[in-house]
């Protein structure tokens, strides 16, 4: 199966995604108010107008891509390139999921160890040691030195680092 994504498809897909993000900003800003209050503009005013700007630019991109569709039929992404992108994207999705389940430090250690081993071709012992070392350094810097609490999971609770 030869998977190819045209530049037109990529343009429309990206514009749709950014329009959705802009719309989310507009809707979220409405919750905080977009009018003028006693102290000046309400807190949702700036995000509201920035969201509208993103939506407008996205619609402009869609129109421009549709009008110039003939010139955008070249291949944007081949199967091999898509596999390379997926090899970075899928571990990041797993990182987010593991962060929610096991906490940020455990997810960081697992992510770095896996990526170093699978993509960097490092030996497993080096990959694991680097992942654990990075997680410990992040903990010491963020939690201890700067006192910025991050998402923790059951391991930190079991170790009393909660």
In this structure, the answer to whether residues 60 and 34 fall within a common structural domain is: yes
Where among 22, 50, 73 does a domain terminate?
Answer: 73
In this structure, the answer to whether residues 152 and 84 fall within a common structural domain is: yes
Write down the pLDDT at residue 156: 86
Where among 23, 42, 73 does a domain terminate?
Answer: 73
Q: What is the domain count for the chain?
A: 2
Distinct helix (H) and strand (E) counts, the chain: 6, 4
In this structure, the answer to whether residues 68 and 84 fall within a common structural domain is: no
Range of the domain at 22: 1-73
In this structure, the answer to whether residues 105 and 156 fall within a common structural domain is: yes
Higher pLDDT, 5 or 162: 5
3-class SS at 43? coil
Report the distance separating Cα 112 and Cα 123, nearest Å.
Answer: 13
Cα 100–Cα 104–Cα 106 angle in degrees, nearest 5: 100
In this structure, the answer to whether residues 59 and 10 fall within a common structural domain is: yes
The answer to pTM > 0.75 is no
Tokens read off for 152: 């923790």
In this structure, the answer to whether residues 60 and 14 fall within a common structural domain is: yes
Q: What is the mean pLDDT of the chain?
A: 93
List, for residues 45-54, the tens digit of each pLDDT value. 999 999 999 9
């Amino acid at each position: 199966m030869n998977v190819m994504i045209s530049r037109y498809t990529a343009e429309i897909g990206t514009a749709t995604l950014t329009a959705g993000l802009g719309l989310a900003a507009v809707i979220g800003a409405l919750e905080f108010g977009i009018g003028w209050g006693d102290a000046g503009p309400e807190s949702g005013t700036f995000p509201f107008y920035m969201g509208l700007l993103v939506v407008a630019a996205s619609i402009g991109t869609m129109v421009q891509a549709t009008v110039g569709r003939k010139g955008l039929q070249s291949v944007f992404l081949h199967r091999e390139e898509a596999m390379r992108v997926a090899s970075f994207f899928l571990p990041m999705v797993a990182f987010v999921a593991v962060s929610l389940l096991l906490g940020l430090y455990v997810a960081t250690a697992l992510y770095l160890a896996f990526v170093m081993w699978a993509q960097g071709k490092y030996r497993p012992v080096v990959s694991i040691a680097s992942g654990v070392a990075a997680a410990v350094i992040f903990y010491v810097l963020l939690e201890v030195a700067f006192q910025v609490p991050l998402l923790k999971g059951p391991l930190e609770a079991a170790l009393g680092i909660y």
